[in-house]
Structure 1
Amino acid sequence: MEIADDSKNSKRVVFVTVGTTLFDALVRAVDTQEVRQELYAKGYTHLLIQIGRGSYIPARSTSDNGSVAVEYFTFSSSIAESLRSASLVISHAGSGSIFETLRLRKPLIVVVNEDLMDNHQEELAEELAERKHLFCAHPRTLHQTIASMNLDSLLPYPAGDAKPVSKLINKFLGFPED
């Protein structure tokens, strides 16, 4: 996967997003000592957590203690800048968050919300993980996923081509072909 080499930069940010959902299990998972230690061991310096509507508040910290610095916020009008500046994204399994991150060619760990019924998001995350576009985890396995992840094993997600769909719609509507 073509990932920018930012190892020369002193700040390597992990951006965590729950979208507009309530996903305290993910926020709790990234707030554990195990996850913070694994991120630090992988060279990440900052953890920025978007907690959404959740009630769990992670502990803020600075990097002075030999660990990642932690900040959080509830919502933002746009998370695009946070995604762009991230060295790693940890996200809920919403398709919008997944595909926006993949489009930016950012390494991604998708954490499945096990509390959702009829979880089609898990199917999407597992399929994309099987195709090596991202890593898939559950809140209880996140620290193990981080410890074992090899970013070089990820493959870029191919950009979609809307032309075949456009041609089919035009043909259905009776428009002339280009």
Structure 2
Amino acid sequence: MGEDQKGKRLKRIVFVTVGTTSFDALVRAMDTQAVREELRRRGYTDLLIQMGRGSYIPSKFSGEDGLVAVDYFTFSPTIADYLLSAELVISHAGSGSIFETLRLGKPLVVVVNEDLMDNHQSELADELAARKHLFCSRPQSLGQALRTMDLEALVPYSPGDARPVATHINKFLGFQAD
């Protein structure tokens, strides 16, 4: 792994978030030797998992012997700092987590929770993947997705302009334009 000018190990962090829900399948998928080895092969040094309400506890590793260091926590008032420090984000398919990550320009792998009743999240993730803004996976295929992802192929996400829609709604409701 690289070092800075003072000989300190440079961190390349992968941040995993499940939001406020329980998504043990994603945490379990991250807690495999194959995934950790793929992350190490790609030059990542640290894996930080926000595990939400889940009951599956991942293994912690210190990062010695060139292995990826692994740590976890349940909740935080905000994940903004974690997203900012990450080189790669792996997230559940919640729209808030997706768009917050994309606005920061971070590479993103979205893992769809197939256990949800109304899987509208899958539609959003699949559409954004088709537009090449992110990679989409299921828990059981996460290792393969990490092996084959090409970060250079991602297209930056540009938020749309909501003003025309707001103007139209205001006009329809009879509100005057400013």
Q: TM-score, normalised by structure 2?
A: 0.92
Q: Distance in 2 between matches of 1:137 and 1:8?
A: 32
Question: What letter matches 2:48 in structure 1?
Answer: L
Partner of 2:159: 159
Question: What letter matches 1:22 in structure 2?
Answer: S
**Are 1:120 and 2:113 counterparts?**
no
Say what the alpha-carbon RMSD is for the aligned residues: 1.5
Shift of 1:116: 1.2
Shift of 1:175: 3.4
Shift of 1:174: 2.6
**Are 1:76 and 2:82 counterparts?**
no
Runs (4+) of structure 1 exceeding 2 A deviation are 173-178
Shift of 1:8: 8.1
* 1:129-148 → structure 2 map (5 Å cutoff): 129-148=129-148
Q: Distance in 2 between matches of 1:54 and 1:74?
A: 8
SS at match of 1:90: strand
Q: Distance in 2 between matches of 1:173 and 1:72?
A: 48
Shift of 1:142: 0.6
Partner of 1:17: 17
SS at match of 1:169: helix
Shift of 1:13: 0.3
Q: Distance in 1 between matches of 2:121 and 2:106?
A: 19
Q: Distance in 2 between matches of 1:8 and 1:97?
A: 31
**Are 1:106 and 2:106 counterparts?**
yes
Partner of 1:87: 87
Q: Distance in 1 between matches of 2:17 and 2:170?
A: 38
Q: TM-score, normalised by structure 1?
A: 0.92
Q: Distance in 2 between matches of 1:60 and 1:173?
A: 55
Q: Distance in 2 between matches of 1:152 and 1:110?
A: 17
Number of equivalenced pairs: 172
Q: Distance in 2 between matches of 1:156 and 1:64?
A: 35
Classify 1:8/1:173 alpha carbon distance in 2 versus 1 (closer, same or farther; 3 Å): farther
Partner of 2:175: 175
SS at match of 1:87: strand
Partner of 2:7: none
Q: Distance in 2 between matches of 1:168 and 1:156?
A: 28
SS at match of 2:78: coil
Residue ranges of structure 2 left out of the alignment (5+ in a row): 5-9
Q: Which has the higher contact order (CA 8 A, sep 6+)?
A: 1
Residue ranges of structure 1 left out of the alignment (5+ in a row): 1-6
Q: Deviations over 1:42-61 (max 9, x none)?
A: 11000000010001111111
Q: Distance in 1 between matches of 2:139 and 2:24?
A: 10
Question: What letter matches 2:12 in structure 1?
Answer: R
